Amino acid sequence: MSVSSAGAAIRFDYRPRMRLITSTRMLVADLCDELLGDAATSRVAMAAHELMENVAKYSSGGEGSVEVALSQRNGQNYVQVSTKNRASAHQREQLQHLIGELRRAADPIAYYDAVIAKSVLSKGSGLGLARIRAEGNMEVDLSIEGDQVTISAQGSVARRSR
């Protein structure tokens, strides 16, 4: 993790495997705990976990990466968690649909509840992305360049008072 007075960042490149997600989440939480309060650390760790699960589900092989960056913008502390991976055309289309629905939802909690109900019947429901927006109070964005997919979750966070 690189740390400066303005912020901190950590990045991992990895092969998408479900068993690495929990240990990476714990490492992200431990590192964030030095800078953030407990509630913010939990939000960031949850977002990293959900986005890494997304890489495991929506990757077309190869490597993925996860990056957590803390910065200041307009006097506020801000966090961005992002993942990158290659995805098939079908996977990219699914992600565009899921994130489009998520961003159009006026009430993140009501949308999350609806996705929970739908997820019982459907694989690839977008539950993790809805959770990031509802529980993490973060905006979720998608960018696609060729077969490379980047999903980012960002929002303001409280820093630990020293």
Strand order in the sheet with 139-145: 2-3, 8-14, 64-73, 76-86, 148-156, 139-145
CA angle 63, 150, 44 (to 5 degrees): 95
Q: In the prediction, which pLDDT does 161 show?
A: 65
68: left (phi over 0), alpha (psi -120 to 50) or beta: beta
pLDDT by position in tens, the chain (length 162): 444 445 788 888 888 777 788 888 888 888 888 788 788 889 999 999 999 988 888 788 778 899 999 888 888 889 999 999 999 999 899 899 999 999 999 999 999 999 888 877 766 678 899 999 999 999 999 999 999 999 999 999 877 665
Buried b (16+ CB within 10 A) or exposed e, 75-108: eebebbbbbbbbbeeebbebbeebbeebeebeeb
Q: In the prediction, which pLDDT does 9 show?
A: 85
pTM of the entire predicted model: 0.87
Domain boundaries, the chain: 2-156
What is the C-alpha to C-alpha distance for residues 10 and 42, in angstroms, rounded to an integer?
16
Q: In the prediction, which pLDDT does 6 show?
A: 55
Q: In the prediction, which pLDDT does 18 show?
A: 73
CATH class belonging to 2-156: alpha beta
